[in-house]
Structure 1
Amino acid sequence: MGNMAYDTAGAGPTPAASPWAAVGVSAFEETVYRAILHQPDAGAAGWALLTGASPRRVREACERLLVLGLLQPPDSMGGLRAVDPRVAIRALIRRRETESELIAATAEEMATAYEAGLLREEPSRLVEVASGEGAIAARLEELYARAEHEVCLFDTPPYLAPPAPQVDLQADLLRRGIVSRGVYAATALEDPKVLSRAWRMAELGERARVLPVVPMKLLVVDGCRAMLPLTSSAAGGYCAVVIWHSAVTEALQKLFEMAWQQATPLGRPVEDSELSEGERTLARLLAAGMKDEAVARHLGVSLRTLRRRVSELQERLGAASRFQLGMRAAQRGWV
C-alpha cells in the first residue's frame, strides 16, 4: 500500500501527504480508493479489512468517491467499480480548474467592491503621486503587469524620461496577447527614434494611429487604471500621477476612444510592386501627418526634391491633394 502512517486512535492507515489533496480527495479516501483498485471484488467489508477501518467509515468514503467520480455507480448486483484513474483524475483536475476560474472571477468582483469601499472611506486613495524616474518606472511596471485585456496610450513630446523601459514593457505585453493601442502625435514621429520605435511596436502587434496633436501623455490599463505626468518640463523633475478605478479613469478612457476614432492608422505597408521602397517610406511619412521639413530630413532630400516626389505620387494616384493622397494610399494598403 505504499508509505503508510498509522494514527494512535486505531482508525486505520493514513497515507503521507499526497497530491490527491489538491483535487479534493482526503488521505483516507485515497486509501480506500487504492484498496478498491487492489481488490475490486472485496466489497465494503473486505476493503475495511484492507484499510483497518470500520465498514461504516469505508462506506462513507465510497459515497464521497462516487461524488468525486472515482467510482462507478453500483451495478445490478450492488457492487462498486473503480473508474480508470487516468480518466477520473483528469476529470477532477478539469473540475478544479473550472472552480478556480469561478473563484478568480468572484475575487475580481470582490476587489471592485473593496476598492470602492476604500475610496468612500478615504477618497485620497484614488490618486497616487510618483516622483522620480525610479518610482515612475516601478508604477509603470506594476500597471503593465496587472493588465489583463487592453492598454491604451497617448504618446506626445516632451519626453521627460528615457523610453526604453516602457518599450520593453509594451513588447512583453504584446507577447502575452494583451491588446495595445497607441495614438501618437505627429510631432513625436518627427523624431527618427520615436518613429522607429512606433514602427517596431506596430510590427509586434500594436495598433497605432496618428493625430496632428495629442492632448497629453496618458496610459490607461483595462479602462480602470491610468497614469499621466504632472510635470511638463524636465526642469520640474520627473513626476506622474496614478489614478485608480473611478469616474476619472472612465472619463480618460472615453477621451482616448474619441481621439482613436479621429486618428489615422500608422503601420508598415504591405509590399506592392508598383512602389519603390523610397515611395513606400514617403507614403508612410505623409500618412503620419508630418510636416514637409520633417519628411525631408527623414529622407535626406531637399524640400524642392520632396515636393516634386509628392507631386509625382499624387499624379500616379490621381489625388488632388496630400490628404486625398494619404486616403488613396491607405486604400491600396500602402500605409
Structure 2
Amino acid sequence: MESSIHTKFDNSIIIPELAKEPVEPHINLRPQNFDEYPGQERICENLKVYTQAAKLRGKMLDHCLFHGPPGLGKTTLAGIIAKTMDCQMKVTSGPVIERAADLMGILASLESKTILFIDEIHRLPANVEEILYSAMEDMRLDILIGQGPTARTVKFDLPPFCIIGATTRAGAISAPLRDRFGIQEHLDYYTPAALSKILLRSAKIMNTHLEEDAALLLSKRCRGTPRIANQLLKRVLDFALVSNKVTIDCDIINQSLNRLGVDSEGLSLMDREFLKIMEERYQGGPVGLEAIAAALNEEKSTLEDVYEPYLVYRGFILRTARGRMLSDSGKMHLNNI
C-alpha cells in the first residue's frame, strides 16, 4: 500500500519508496529467538542448552541473573527464554517493589511455569530481598502473622516459577541473593560486526534499505550498544526522509551523526565534556567523580551508570585508588576533535 509522505519543511516532498509501510513508533525490533540474537553467542549457546535440558526434564529453568551495562539486551534475553520455554512472563522492577507485601502479592499471583523478570534487581530493599530467599530456594513464602508471643509463621507453597534478574550493578546485590541464581551471565559490549548485523536486521524490519558499508560505519559509532544502535538508525532515517534519500549510505550516516553530536568513536557531547573537564580543570586527574559531577551539573549516579562505563571500556578514563584519570588515548581523542 503506497502513500505519500509530506514534511513541514517542504510540502512537495513525496517519497513513495519509503512510504510503502510507514514505520510505527511502537515497531518491535527485539529478536524473537536465540538465532536472531547476535553478539552474545557464548551466552546464547549456553542458554539453548539450559532451556532444552529444563524442557526435557519437565522442570522450570533455574533462576537467572544477567548483568552488564544498560542497553545490551538483558530484557530481550528474558523474553526469548520465556518464548523458548513456552512460558508467560511477568515484568516488574526493583524500584517499584517498595514493601515486602508488594513482592508477596506478586509471587502469590504467579501461575505455574511463569517467568518473573525483575529489572534493576539491585534496587530491591533489604527486607524485600529476604522474602526472595525461601521463594527462590524452596518455592514457598514464609508469612509472619501477628506480633509478639502470639506471632506465627504460615508457609504458602508457590507453583514452579523462574526469576530472571537484570542489573547494571551485580556488586550491589547481596551475596545471599546472588548465590540463589543458578545461572549468572555477564553481557559484554558488542563488536562492530555484531552491531552491523543488528542494524541490517532492524533496517529490514523498518522497510529501509541500509547499505552494508553504511551499517558497519554506523556500528562503530554506537558505543557497542544495540539500544543506541537502533536509536541512531531511527534518527538517521529521519534525516534521510527529509533529505529525500531512499537508500541509507555512508554520506547520510556521517551527516546525521555530525548533527547529532556523535563523533567517530561514538562519544556524545556529554562524553566529550566529561573528558574536557578532566583535562582543562583538573589537568587530567586524578579527580573524584563527585567533583566531575559538580562541574558538569550532573548527578554522580548518572555519570557512573550512563557515561563512565563506556569511557572506561574504551580506555579514555582510568579508575585508580586516588580517583579518575584521563588516559593518553583520552587526551589524543580530545586533540583530534
Shorter-normalised TM-score: what interval?
under 0.3
TM (normalized to structure 2)?
0.20
TM (normalized to structure 1)?
0.20
Structure with the largest fraction of helix: 1
Structure ranking higher on relative contact order (CA contacts 8 Å, 6+ apart): 2
